[in-house]
Amino acid sequence: MTQTEKQAWEQVRARGRDRFIVREGLLHRGVPFGVLFGLFQIIRIVFFRSSSEPLLSIIAGWGFATVAFGAIMGVIEWQAHERDYQKPTDEDVA
């Protein structure tokens, strides 16, 4: 991580972990995943008629998968940034 990237990360850190997870995890990772997952479910139901589940159950599963995937991806990304932030840069060593 360069010094410029560290400064940018410090600004993100100052806004908080939860905000990062919601924004980067849920919105940038979870929602696209949820849309693709939802399309897959629609295609499976409409074209293959392979679902005997009630629609409410499908929607609840879709929503849970979207939130869970987004939250997990947000936490993983936060941890990766934190790990990189803690490492000394070439500029720090010199």
pLDDT digits (tens, 9 = 90+) for 35-86: 998 888 888 878 877 667 777 888 888 899 999 999 999 999 999 999 999 9
- The gap between the terminal CA atoms of the chain, to the nearest Å, is 15
Domain residue spans of the chain: 3-93
Q: DSSP strand E in the chain: where?
A: none
Q: Which amino acid is at 58?
A: I
User: What are 2-11's contacts with CB under 8 Å, separation 24+?
Assistant: 2/89, 2/91, 3/89, 3/91, 3/92, 5/84, 6/85, 6/89, 9/81, 9/84, 9/85, 10/85
pTM: 0.80
